């Protein structure tokens, strides 16, 4: 039995939830999200509280029970508060800037890397070395952060690269010179 799936979801007052068949729509001050939930899960919404139950007790429904609850909870948090991911650029000459709808990164290559900012994500650059991503869709924010990080992943010898804020890179010892 899923311990996460049994927990009720509190819906803030500034968030509106509508359920039609197995489609759930969540709208709030920062945006609107919708998702189709499996037919094995029963959703009930009363008194600003969402609760999920399994229709039948099978292995797949037990797997989807906690997953569905977490996805719906992330939708509600996203439209009411937004999600944030911070990336740090570490290295000599590494910097980022925003020009219109594009994020331009200088990461030590012979050319700048130009990335188009997806719809629904707000990007800020502070001190040329900190990139902050804000958005109401947790999946989209995390995927864009991973795509940026993939352009220059951190390396273990000098610690250069794009790191998530607070990430610690285990350093390796280089060659011993004789």
The enclosing domain of 44 has a CATH number of 3.90.930.12
pLDDT tens sequence across 67-123? 999 999 999 999 999 999 999 999 898 999 999 999 999 998 999 999 999 998 999
Whole-angstrom distance, CA of residue 42 vs CA of residue 54: 6
Whole-angstrom distance, CA of residue 69 vs CA of residue 75: 10
21 with 64, same domain: the answer is yes
pLDDT tens sequence across 52-71? 999 999 999 989 999 999 99
Burial of 110 (0-12, 13-18, 19+ CB in 10 A): exposed
Tell me, yes or no, whether 170 lies in a domain.
Answer: no
Tell me, yes or no, whether 43 lies in a domain.
Answer: yes
pLDDT of residue 88: 94
22, 56, 80: which is the final residue of a domain? 80
Tell me, yes or no, whether 69 lies in a domain.
Answer: yes
Shortest CA distance to 75 belongs to which of 109, 53, 43, 47?
A: 43
Q: Calculate the alpha carbon distances from 121 to 31, 102, 105, 155 in Å.
A: 11, 12, 17, 27
Residue 1 has pLDDT above 80, yes or no: no
Domain containing 64: what range? 3-80
Whole-angstrom distance, CA of residue 154 vs CA of residue 158: 9
The whole-model pTM stands at 0.88
88 with 146, same domain: the answer is yes
Shortest CA distance to 87 belongs to which of 144, 47, 30, 33?
A: 144
74 with 88, same domain: the answer is no
Q: Which residues pair with 65 in a beta bridge?
A: none
Calculate helix-pair angle for 59-80, 138-150, nearest 10 degrees.
90
| 67 three-state secondary structure | helix
């Amino acid at each position: 039995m899923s311990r996460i799936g049994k927990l009720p979801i509190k819906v803030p007052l500034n968030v509106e939830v509508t359920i039609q068949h197995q489609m759930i729509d969540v709208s709030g001050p920062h945006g609107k999200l919708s998702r189709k939930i499996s037919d094995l899960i029963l959703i009930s919404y009363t008194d600003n509280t969402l609760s999920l139950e399994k229709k039948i007790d099978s292995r797949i429904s037990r797997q989807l029970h906690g997953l569905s609850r977490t996805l719906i909870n992330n939708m509600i948090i996203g439209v009411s508060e937004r999600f944030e991911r911070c990336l740090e650029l570490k290295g000599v000459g590494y910097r980022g800037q925003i020009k219109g709808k594009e994020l331009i990164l200088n990461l030590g290559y012979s050319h700048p890397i130009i990335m188009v900012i997806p719809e629904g994500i707000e990007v800020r650059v502070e001190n040329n070395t900190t990139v902050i991503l804000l958005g109401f869709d947790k999946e989209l924010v995390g995927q864009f952060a991973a795509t940026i990080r993939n352009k220059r992943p951190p390396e273990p010898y000098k610690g250069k690269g794009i790191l998530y804020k607070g990430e610690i890179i285990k350093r390796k010892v280089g060659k011993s010179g004789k």
